[in-house]
Chain A
Amino acid sequence: MEYRSQKIAYWYFAIALSLFTLQVIVGLWLAFNYFFTVPQSIVDKFPFATARAIHTNLLVLWMLLGFMGGTYYIVPEETGREIFSPRLAWFQLVALVVTGVVALVGFVFGWTQGRPLLEIPRPLDFVVVVGALIFLFNVGITMFKAKRWTAIQGTLLGGLLFLALLYLFGIPFYENEVIDWYYWWWVIHLWVEGAWELVTAAIFAFILIKITGVDRQVVEKWLYVEIGLFLFTGIAGTGHHYYWIGAPRYWLWVGGIFSALEPLPILLMLIDTMNHVKHRQIKIINPLTWTYAIGCAVLHMIGAGVWGFMHTLPQINYYTHGSQVTVSHGHLAFFGAYALLNLTVFYFAIPRIKGIEQYDARRGKVGFWTMVTAMTLMGLSFGIAGVVQAYVERVLGMGYMAAQSYMRLWMAVTFTLGLCFFVGVLITVTDLLTLRPARKVID
């Protein structure tokens, strides 16, 4: 760590990690609901819907905290100066966490906007916006004062601005359900396949430069090509959500073609990462950080690229849309692309913040492989359940619950794998929060 203000990042990371743990616990409860009969009296008090709102909002919250923390860590090193106002950074963290907690508790008491993933009630939305503005102001001023523009900074700031701007489309009440979903995807899709990819690409490029020692010009050149492809395919690719909502038919073509291209930038990122690793100029000090970076690139490709591609063609999507196939893709993609990215950043930054040159990676390794194996298998079991559902319910027309009965076994398998994943998370989170120097430094 070269700058004092980078330390703030640690608290963003620590809170993100605890929310991650909580998210997985709630996830286990959700999976449990899919194969076990929860009695009416409990369902009346704590419906599945409430738990789902908590699960997904925890995801968004911890990811955003991770990105913000990552940004606060990266910006001082990129600009060569301290964060403009560490106080604002603290204030913004507290504001965001308090808003999050109020929202989550509110869900339990039925205080909700009632739209999936955007359940946070409107009054709280405005607090989120103010928090985001403070964050952007703080980061922006730091960059402007430094006057040392890099492609990484530009991409990062651009991605964050885009992210904040898109959130606004999720706030209004839309009278027309079709238009509601049209703009709902401006938040959800253009976040995960637009703004978040920009943030990811920037952070990833930064870490690659730092740990491979590959020339910045080379890394940044590929960064431009990647984000160019991400936005080229991602923006118009939003169309793959407009197939069955009552939008014009041409979206089948636009969505189908552009989203078929969406794996390209991810593939490029994977090849690019492998290439930089091959041509590294610096010795690997912490192999686990590496494992994470490469694991992220690989699972990003599988979960978002391959799994997304699989059911994005309209002919297939007609049968898989809104089934457990979507869930399979969602879990693999979010974990592969964004959970692993955040964890890569944490494993990169936390040792530096704590002043540990080489950390003891034994526990962390177990954590990584447990999580990755369990999540990959979960993706498969969700996927099997999804295919069963699509066939029984949509092809045979046997009724919703008939299909659910056939899927029950696979949801129980998913739950069991979820337990394994949870163990992996506990190991990883504990490891990150109590990192120790390795006993002997390997030459």
Chain B
Amino acid sequence: MSKKTAFWIFMIGTVFSAILFLGLTWDTHRQIVTLSHADKLSVDVVKGKRVFEKYNCNDCHTILGFGGYYAPDLTKVVQRVGEEGIRYRVKNPGKAFETSWRKMPNQKLSDEEIDHLVAFFTWVGNVDNGDWPPQDSKKRLTRSEERMVAGVGLSAGAAVFQTRGCMNCHSLHGTGGSFGPALDTIAQKLTREQIEHYVKDPKSVNPKALMPAQKELSDKELEEVAEFLANVK
């Protein structure tokens, strides 16, 4: 092989790859509009992205799998911990991670900033990204739900328990928060009716209860989650 042949190998290889890449880039731009739901990219979502960048969240957390590996991926965070779960963690990381051996800094975000952040995460969570990350995959149940279901049987209440913020404080089989008591054997202590009553208004049962009344749960959700917990033995 002569040096001239080598030069042409270089030229052809590079140009071929570059043309392919630029062509696909053009097509990707076209398709991303649908795949990312660009029509839902509201002013609040964009503001949320700026908040996300302002506080350098991405150097601890990954999003779409990129960033720091020090904290959980945020692609499907809304599906995983719910909007309230996000608010609670961002607002009071000291409390939310009091018993965790890894802490999150309190960046003192305003309520407005947190609203934008939630809008941003909601949008990202709906990006059609090949069902990644696997732990939050909805193709089957999420893997953590699968574990839960394996223990207690499938119910709509499991989804309520997971997505409406219960797990910010409570845990089941080691998954969830530790601010409130673990609920692994809750059904041995309380009946379905007692649970429903307690969740609705904890202070009416125990005036010293730290748990807030769950006013945002609909009656149906309340019933479902009580039914679910009443089977956790």
**A residues lining the B interface (CB < 8 Å):** 33-34, 37-40, 43-44, 47-50, 52-53, 110, 112-116, 119, 151, 173, 175-182, 184, 217, 220-225, 227-229, 231-236, 238-239, 241-252, 254, 258, 318-319, 321-324, 326-327, 393-402, 404-405
Contacts and interface: CB of A to CB of B under 8 A. Distances in A.
A229 B46 CA distance: 40
B63 A177 contact: yes
Candidate in A181, A251, A399 with the most chain B CB atoms within 10 angstroms: A399
A217 B1 CA distance: 12
A49 B102 CA distance: 13
A181 B66 contact: yes
Contact of B127 (A178, A233, A396): A178
21 contacts: A43-B105, A44-B105, A49-B58, A114-B59, A115-B53, A116-B66, A116-B67, A151-B3, A176-B41, A177-B127, A224-B10, A245-B127, A246-B35, A251-B28, A252-B130, A258-B17, A321-B133, A322-B67, A323-B69, A398-B174, A399-B175
Interface residues of B, number: 81
B36 A246 contact: yes
The interface residues of chain B, by DSSP majority, are classed as helix
B65 A225 contact: no
Given A231-B14, A235-B14, A247-B28, A394 B134 contact: yes
A249 to B, nearest CB: 7
Contacts, number: 239
Given A49-B60, A246-B128, A322-B133, 16 more contacts: A38-B103, A43-B104, A43-B105, A114-B59, A175-B46, A179-B36, A223-B6, A228-B14, A231-B14, A243-B130, A246-B129, A249-B130, A251-B28, A318-B132, A321-B132, A401-B100
A176 B55 contact: no
A52 B13 CA distance: 37
B105 A246 contact: no
Contacts of A110: 55-56
A182 B32 CA distance: 10
A322 B32 contact: no
Given A52-B59, A112-B56, A224-B3, A327 B103 contact: no
A90 to B, nearest CB: 33
B194 interface: no
A242 B147 CA distance: 30
Interface string B133-146: 11100000011111
A27 B7 CA distance: 41
A318 B12 CA distance: 32
